[in-house]
Chains A and B, each alone.
Chain A
Amino acid sequence: MSTANLDPTLNTHGAHAEHEEEDHRMFGFIVFLLSESVIFLSFFVGYTVYKTNITDWLPAGVEGLEVREPLINTIVLVSSSFVIYFAERFLHRENLWGFRAFWLLTMAMGSFFLYGQAVEWMGLPFGFTDGVFGGTFYLLTGFHGLHVMTGVLLQGIMLGRSFLPNNYAGGEFGVAATSLFWHFVDVIWIILFILIYVWQ
């Protein structure tokens, strides 16, 4: 070990530690996602408990939720999981333009989902503070929406990074993690859609 590595401020991770950190990132990220899924699980449990226990569950004057637009949104989001998979495949085959095209398409589909949700929110006859139903509805869809937004943001960063020279030695973890995150957000949405829109 050379003395050059012995910076007394102890930020001493040489190339060795950096490399190790790379290796462990995906494992750590999966662990994090498992933990994150428990927050959603808690919200889902809360929603189910409220829905089964509260007699006047829907706010006065609200009949139920319109399913058609959310269903279109669901189809778009679920399809985007396949699109992002193909983007990754292009990257593995070192077809950078193919990757960028499909990656951008995923971003567009994610953005469409967010736009669709915003339109839905604006048209709803109840608000965040209208009883427990209003609260849980916006909490669940909002918290999920926040994740979609994060996903699109991460995708944007990865797309930008793909234009940096010599990037893709270290950039593949970012792509793999973003893609995994996107699948996660997707699975959560499917459960959420069934819970809120199908089970009315």
Chain B
Amino acid sequence: MSNASIEAIAAKSGQPFPGAPNNWRRFFSFSTDHKVIGIQYMVTAFVFFLIGGLLAMVMRGELITPEADLVDRTVYNALFTMHGTIMLFMWTFPVLNGLSNYLVPLMIGARDMAFPRLNAAAFWLVPVFGTLLMVSFFVPGGPSQSGWWAYPPVSLQNPTGNLINGQVLWLLAVALSGVSSIMGAVNFVTTIFRMRAPGMGWFKMPAFCWTVLSAQMIQLFGLPSLTAGAVMLLLDLTAGTSFFDPARGGDPVLYQHFFWFYSHPAVYVIILPIFGTFSEIFPVYARKPLFGYRFVVVSSLIITVLSAMVWVHHMFASGTPSWMRMLFMFSTMLISVPTGVKVFAWVATVWGGKLRLDTPMLFALGGLVCFLFAGITGVMLGAVPFDIHVNNTYFVVGHFHYVIYGATVMGVYAAIYHWFPKMTGHMYYEGLGKLHFALTFIGVNLNFFPMHPLGLMGMPRRVASYDPEFAYWNVIASLGGFLLGVSTLPFILNMISSWILGKRAPANPWNAIGLEWLIPSPPPVENFEEIPIVVSGPYGYGSDEPLVANNPAGELISEHS
């Protein structure tokens, strides 16, 4: 493209200095701009979210009647395996990586991530391993049927006898996902440690960046354990070793340790950035500083450390010795302390504030309510006797989905609406946003609340058919599930139409505080014409203190309160 047309684009964008050309093609290119990569991550993740959601719809369709009449049992096994795998590895991690990619450099006053090319490479692995996973639908024998945790000896079965089978493809995809995540984690940790704007001391950094740092530390030190387990499982499947094959001296429980040593902390990789999102959103829409900022920050670090000490609570029923169960019961329950600190901080932030119930705030409040419920059932599950009682029942599924859909997906929606004007330069449609929230919140509770009574009644998970006494709650759950499916439609409609037709967004539509709101929407190519010099903390609502000593965009935030 010639310089003349670049200037024309810059002029059209109406920005004070040449900004990012509003050209959709760049989102399909190998770009090293963290903002493009961020959006690439988020859109790709959302495509997989829809695929994973579709699989869930089929499952809920199957479970609307007690008989296995829609799909047969092997297909059902494949459905829940792929649903879980896609939602965790293809949706939550990529979407949060996308959000973090977009926001972290802007929030810390950097021009880009530390390693832009590595960043792009980490993203492009996502469609590669996503495709690899999808291919497994078409190999003989179909996709893996051993659940997203791939426990041996079930995952060691290979009825087709082919070397390329669903389980092998699953393992390769998960391994590639691990490589991508570690590349991302190295980048995030380096960026946050080394590229903060002058003046931005550790305790002047937004809480969101702290949670990203904490989450990425978990990726760095937890993920290799899953990789080790996956490599050994792959060798068992393809090369004839017997690490996890009990018939040949192997130890399948060791795999569970490797798996959960990462996959339990992975829950915090998912939820910590959501905590960060809440910490950014509540102050803006309540017009108050984040209550107990330092406590919120330190609690993230404590959660990070504790997260590596609780994995055995997934194995209370795996022949774990009693002393170990007690130890891990206490460590599990301990984690509710730093988490509680955060919840109190958010409640105190919102308390007595002038609340604006825009869509991001609604989603953040809804997400917080769901998280509270999930937290309570989480403490219940941490107790050994209760856990053993409801082990492998729908109670666990309900708890888990309140965390993942209730808190995480709603938190992601909150973040997307909140930063949508910044990312696209356009405002979203508030009415559609509120409709989206209402459908999602009702859908979540209709879908996942019934799983708790079902679990207490004893309905096992991972079954295609069940005793007719469970039918009542299952019908409600299925209707809730379909409603959740429908709830994505106003979101898609809103995002596409407002990106194209929405009102132009000013630099700071919410009157928020933070470096990202000091620059035009969408931000120009290298974010800041001049790197900002930070002089105060990120939550100075009601204070007259300026955030930066120099103004990167030539215009100050008009008011703070």
Give 1 or 0 for each of B91-121: 1 = CB within 8 Å of chain A CB: 0000000000000000000011011100000
The CA of A105 and the CA of B351, in the complex, are separated in Å by 69
Question: Are B18 and A1 in touch, CB under 8 angstroms?
Answer: yes
**Chain B hits for A1, CB < 8 A:** 17-18, 526, 529
**Chain B hits for A50, CB < 8 A:** 251, 254
Question: Are A27 and B190 in touch, CB under 8 angstroms?
Answer: yes
Most buried by A among B6, B10, B190, B194: B190
Contacts A12-B526, A129-B239, A135-B242 given; does A17 touch B112 at CB 8 Å: yes
Q: Which segment of A38-46, A84-92, A182-190 sits at the interface?
A: A38-46
The CA of A157 and the CA of B75, in the complex, are separated in Å by 50
Q: Which segment of A2-10, A117-125, A172-180 sits at the interface?
A: A2-10
**Chain B hits for A7, CB < 8 A:** 1, 6
The CA of A31 and the CA of B213, in the complex, are separated in Å by 13
Q: For the complex, is A11 an interface residue (Cβ under 8 Å from B)?
A: yes
Q: Which segment of A18-26, A65-73, A161-169, A192-200 sits at the interface?
A: A18-26
Q: Which segment of B218-226, B326-334, B497-505 sits at the interface?
A: B218-226
**Chain A hits for B235, CB < 8 A:** 135, 139
Contacts A3-B18, A42-B224 given; does A35 touch B186 at CB 8 Å: yes
Q: For the complex, is B551 an interface residue (Cβ under 8 Å from A)?
A: no
Contacts A35-B185, A39-B224, A49-B251 given; does A10 touch B525 at CB 8 Å: yes
Question: Are B228 and A42 in touch, CB under 8 angstroms?
Answer: yes
Q: How large is the interface on B (under 10, 10 to 19, 20 to 34, 35 or more residues)?
A: 35 or more
Most buried by A among B112, B191, B526: B526
Question: Are A9 and B31 in touch, CB under 8 angstroms?
Answer: yes
Question: Are A10 and B10 in touch, CB under 8 angstroms?
Answer: no
Q: For the complex, is A34 an interface residue (Cβ under 8 Å from B)?
A: yes
Residue of A nearest to B114 (CB): A24
Contacts A13-B32, A21-B115, A28-B114 given; does A46 touch B20 at CB 8 Å: no
Question: Are B26 and A129 in touch, CB under 8 angstroms?
Answer: no
**Chain A hits for B529, CB < 8 A:** 1
The CA of A46 and the CA of B241, in the complex, are separated in Å by 14
The CA of A141 and the CA of B3, in the complex, are separated in Å by 56
Most buried by A among B23, B111, B220, B224: B224
Q: For the complex, is A93 an interface residue (Cβ under 8 Å from B)?
A: no
**Chain B hits for A12, CB < 8 A:** 32-33, 525-526
Main SS of the interface on chain A?
helix
Contact of A24 (CB < 8 Å), options: B195, B221, B243, B258: B195
Give 1 or 0 for each of B7-21: 1 = CB within 8 Å of chain A CB: 101100000011011
The CA of A20 and the CA of B220, in the complex, are separated in Å by 23
Q: Smallest distance from the beta carbon of B64 to chain A beta carbons, Å?
A: 42
Contacts A6-B525, A10-B33, A46-B232 given; does A128 touch B258 at CB 8 Å: no
The CA of A12 and the CA of B116, in the complex, are separated in Å by 10
Q: Smallest distance from the beta carbon of B259 to chain A beta carbons, Å?
A: 11
Residue of B nearest to A3 (CB): B3
Contacts A35-B185, A35-B220 given; does A6 touch B6 at CB 8 Å: yes
Question: Are B239 and A20 in touch, CB under 8 angstroms?
Answer: no
Q: For the complex, is A136 an interface residue (Cβ under 8 Å from B)?
A: yes
Question: Are A128 and B112 in touch, CB under 8 angstroms?
Answer: no
The CA of A53 and the CA of B319, in the complex, are separated in Å by 15
Question: Are B10 and A36 in touch, CB under 8 angstroms?
Answer: no
Q: Smallest distance from the beta carbon of A184 to chain B beta carbons, Å?
A: 14
Which residues in chain B, 145-161, are within 8 Å of chain A measured between CB atoms?
A: none
Subset of 5 A-B contacts with CB under 8 Å: A10-B26, A12-B32, A12-B525, A20-B195, A132-B242
Binding site for A on B (CB under 8 A): 1, 3, 6-7, 9-10, 17-18, 20-21, 23, 26, 29-33, 36, 111-112, 114-116, 182, 185-187, 189-191, 193-195, 220-225, 227-229, 231-232, 235, 239-243, 248-251, 254, 258, 261, 525-526, 529
